[in-house]
Chain A
Amino acid sequence: MSEDGTTALPPRSRGVIALIEENCTSCMLCARECPAWCVHIDSHQETVAAGPGGGRDRTRNVLDRFAIDYSLCMYCSICIEVCPFEALHWSPELAAPETDIRELTHERDRLRTWMWTVPPPPELDEHAEQAKEVTAAERTAQRSRR
């Protein structure tokens, strides 16, 4: 422990969960998989009218409420792992202690501000397999060269 009593944080430390609202499609997977039932999502459907070129109207989900109750959260990462759209990320910051337990439920505005504290992902270990996106991109590049 250093002089001021803090310890150096290891990479990928789990402090608090951050949300990129733009990536969220209200698919409800995180809310369903959470073992503590602490993710609360409200959404509604909106119709996107077909453009001048024709076609049919489409519906899309609009997020109304996304909240995580940190009094219940067990920091298991299941919500972050299951999200297909990478809307949730770990931040090493600590959620502040509160005198009112209701303040431990962070709504989406607060969850967005945690995004500013999310570090870039750490480098892969030198013996690790290459990331699949890199392998796919290299394959595409090779094909276009032929």
Chain B
Amino acid sequence: MGWADRLQEAYGGGVDAGTDPVAVDVPADRWVDAVTTARDVLGCTFFDWLSAVDEGGDGFRVVCHLAAHRPGAVDHLVVRTLLPREHPSLPSVAGVFAGARWHERETHEMFGIEVTEGGEVLDLEPLLLPEEFEGHPLRKDFVLASRVARTWPGAKEPGESESTPVPKRSRRPARPPGVPDPEEWGPHE
């Protein structure tokens, strides 16, 4: 039986064989069961990584990469679930793979995703960010302050310099990527 077929049998549905590696989407309340199934039924003894993707209005997609060894080959699996943006809460899989704890700590501090165990919210120590850091940097709406603070050399038009502005500016000055409208985000006077 092929790998995708075994996944279909183990999970019943939600298998996306079009991606590489093969992915399976599960609801958030079945997250721990899905990872346990991968380990016990499908033989995924290798936990590679767990992280998240900020998908905007849809929420956060938590992704976990697992692998199963067989003689001469490795089968890869990506288990995914979607968490709502307003209150993202992920049950911990550290009981299934102990190494997942570090990845959950990183996902928690980078995305602001709450991690629970037995219904209780875990108070996770920051792993990578300095203690004074505020915000969740890997969220798409996290603004890189350096890009706002620093003057973009490309903001000038051809034929323009500090002392000689271009006479007719027909359109608004171009903003570099990642810099929001100063009306929306920036220092207050």
Contact = CB atoms under 8 A, between A and B. Distances in A.
Interface string B151-187: 0111011111111101100000010100000000000
Nearest to A42: B161
Contacts, number: 51
B150 interface: yes
Interface stretch (A24-32, A128-136, A138-146): A24-32
Contacts of B160: 42-44
Contacts of A38: 153
Interface string B125-169: 000000000000000000000000010111011111111101100
Chain A interface helix/strand/loop/mixed: strand
Nearest to A46: B159
Interface string A7-38: 00000000000000000011110011110011
Interface in A37-73: 37-45, 59, 61-62, 64-65
B152 A25 contact: no
Nearest to B166: A45
A37 B160 CA distance: 17
Nearest to A28: B158
Q: Which of B159, B162, B174 has the most CB of A within 10 A?
A: B159
A44 B154 contact: no
Q: Which of B157, B160, B162 has the most CB of A within 10 A?
A: B160
Contacts of B174: 32
Q: Which bucket holds chain B's interface residue count?
A: 10 to 19
Given A44-B164, A45-B164, A45-B166, A59 B150 contact: no
B153 A39 contact: yes
B161 A61 contact: no
Contacts of B154: 28, 31-34, 37
A43 B161 contact: yes
Nearest to A64: B161
A43 B159 contact: yes
A37 B156 CA distance: 12
B1 to A, nearest CB: 44
A41 B157 CA distance: 10
A52 B168 CA distance: 28
Contacts of B163: 44
11 contacts: A26-B158, A28-B154, A33-B154, A37-B150, A37-B153, A41-B153, A42-B162, A43-B161, A44-B159, A61-B159, A62-B159
Report the 10 A-B pairs with minimum CB-CB distance, sorted nearest first.
Answer: A32-B154, A42-B161, A45-B159, A44-B164, A61-B159, A31-B153, A31-B154, A26-B158, A40-B153, A61-B158
